[in-house]
Chains A and B, each alone.
Chain A
Amino acid sequence: MNPGKPTGQMSSLADQDDKKKSTKASRLDRGTRAKLGQQLRAMYDEVVSQGVPSRFSELLNGLDNNEGKQNAH
């Protein structure tokens, strides 16, 4: 699946359900869709590029200690 360009060709079975609703949407030109996609990914990647904050790596790595205790039981 390429999330970048599915709306252009309305061919798959699943699309048929939504044909009525999406005819308007499918009029968006390629340039506009590309721009929106760019903005969306820029926004998302800004967060993704921050990596894993320590609270989450500590949460997951802390499981080792718990596991040790449980195993000792």
Chain B
Amino acid sequence: MRIDDSTRQDILAAVPGLRAFAISLCGNVDRADDLVQEALLRALANIHSFQPGTNMSAWLFTILRNHFRSEYRKRRREVEDADGHYAESLTSHPEQHGQLELSEFRTALNKLPDEQREALILVGASGFSYEEAAEICGCAIGTVKSRVNRARTRLAELMAIQGVDDFGPDHETRAVLVGTRRG
């Protein structure tokens, strides 16, 4: 298996985002890292099919997403633990401002259908255009837009922030509303 240095750098540069995407798909950091590893091995085995000059990151996301759907989806969330292991393994400073909100947000995000969640992450966090997200997901641009819209609406409902200017201080009430488990 041969890759040149710039290809290697491009792949490495994509890894942090791939992990973040994988975690959002798997809901579990260890499984997400296994998914990233398997996706990278697949990518390397098929590196000849990568078109130089095109978007390496989008190519890798596509491989990871397809691998997830073919292999991981059925295994996913057997040990569903949206607010436990997932949050713990990510949160280095639980007392830090915003961590509680973030934890609620993850819980809400995990309640979205897969298609909506992945569309929202790709467009809203990974920085892909709607066109790129459509290619990664193998669907039409309009479908991505629709999924992103529905994802936002549902999240707003789950976070109970629709029509509210600020998330405000009332975490406990929202935690009850979204059914957040703690401790």
Contacts and interface: CB of A to CB of B under 8 A. Distances in A.
Interface of A: 1, 3, 6-7, 14-18, 21-22, 24-26, 28-29, 31-33, 35-37, 39-53, 55-57, 59-61, 63, 66-67, 70
Interface residues of B, number: 59
B138 interface: no
A29 B163 contact: yes
B180 to A, nearest CB: 14
Contacts of A51: 16
A43 B105 contact: yes
Contacts, number: 149
B126 interface: yes
B105 A6 contact: no
30 contacts: A7-B148, A14-B140, A15-B142, A17-B140, A17-B142, A18-B146, A25-B146, A25-B150, A28-B156, A31-B165, A32-B156, A32-B164, A36-B152, A36-B156, A36-B159, A36-B161, A37-B124, A39-B101, A39-B105, A40-B120, A42-B98, A44-B121, A45-B20, A47-B20, A52-B16, A53-B15, A56-B37, A59-B37, A63-B3, A67-B2
A70 B2 contact: yes
A39 B155 CA distance: 11
Interface in B155-173: 155-156, 159, 161-167
Contacts of B105: 39-40, 42-43
B98 to A, nearest CB: 7
The dominant DSSP class at the B interface is: helix
B55 interface: no
A51 B105 CA distance: 22
Given A35-B167, A39-B102, A48 B141 contact: no
Nearest to A60: B8
Q: Nearest 7 CB-CB pairs, A to B?
A: A25-B149, A1-B129, A44-B125, A18-B146, A17-B142, A47-B20, A14-B142
Contact of A7 (B16, B121, B142, B149): B149
B114 interface: no
Interface in B15-46: 15-17, 19-20, 23-24, 33, 36-37, 40-41, 44
